[in-house]
């Protein structure tokens, strides 16, 4: 992952101040994976299917190896985005929470889908975050083979580092196809993980409010 600063933030001028407010550079977030070789991936996908006894000779399956390669390339390629923040001029100090952010990734042990939702919140410090960026951060870390525990902590730690809020909370609930479609075949089961940092961890009232609003209290 590469993070680059660039002058992408809007300047806000105070009409009563002779000097315009300084522009805070936006943080450009780019994930730079290893070079993708779709031709090699397609050939490997064809070998994989044939090794499992699935012929790709029929008209309907002939293009499947290529579709597999392109699908996984898409799953593993997060979109770049700008982490846009704004001054917390009003001194807002209550919880900001984005609920039910879609999560889709693949389990790094079986490369099977993991699908669910994330609840991401923070207690603002000096700056507030453009709300869509909470979903962007979740997508950014989900676009690679993952385990849910690591994904939850990565989102929380990254926001704590780059936003510097008073607290961060992340809860993810997801269904793992490696549990529901194979092995134990526990259809309908879901996994819940959470990471709480700052006041959302140390302050009982703030922690309780966050967990209640995310629906994760007993």
> Known catalytic residue: 94?
no
Selected catalytic residue, list 42, 107, 154, 209:
107
> Known catalytic residue: 178?
yes
Selected catalytic residue, list 31, 110, 164, 175:
110
Selected catalytic residue, list 3, 6, 47, 108:
108
> Known catalytic residue: 6?
no
> Known catalytic residue: 148?
yes
> Known catalytic residue: 107?
yes
Selected catalytic residue, list 42, 146, 148, 154:
148
The token pair that represents 141 in the structure block: 């870390």
Selected catalytic residue, list 139, 146, 154, 176:
176
> Known catalytic residue: 143?
no
What does residue 86 show for φ and ψ, rounded to 5 degrees? Answer: -135, 150
Selected catalytic residue, list 3, 6, 47, 109:
109
> Known catalytic residue: 109?
yes
The catalytic residue positions are: 107-110, 148, 176, 178
């Amino acid at each position: 992952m590469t993070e680059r600063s660039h002058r992408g933030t809007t300047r806000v001028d105070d009409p009563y101040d002779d000097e315009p407010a300084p522009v805070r550079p936006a943080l450009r977030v780019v994930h730079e994976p290893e070079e993708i070789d779709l031709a090699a991936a397609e050939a490997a996908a064809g070998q994989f299917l044939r090794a499992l006894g699935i012929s790709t000779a029929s008209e309907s399956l002939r293009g499947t190896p290529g579709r597999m390669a392109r699908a996984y390339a898409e799953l593993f390629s997060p979109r770049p985005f700008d982490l846009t923040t704004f001054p917390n001029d009003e001194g807002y100090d209550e919880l900001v929470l984005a609920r039910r952010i879609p999560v889709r990734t693949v389990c790094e042990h079986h490369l099977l889908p993991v699908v669910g939702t994330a609840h991401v919140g923070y207690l603002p410090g000096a700056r507030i975050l453009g709300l869509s960026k909470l979903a962007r951060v979740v997508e950014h870390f989900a676009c690679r083979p993952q385990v849910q525990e690591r994904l939850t902590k990565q989102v929380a730690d990254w926001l704590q580092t780059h936003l510097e809020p008073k607290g961060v909370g992340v809860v993810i609930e997801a269904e793992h196809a490696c549990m529901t479609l194979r092995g134990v075949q526990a259809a309908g089961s879901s996994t819940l993980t959470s990471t709480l940092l700052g006041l959302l961890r140390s302050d009982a009232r703030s922690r309780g409010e966050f967990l209640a609003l995310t629906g994760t209290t007993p």
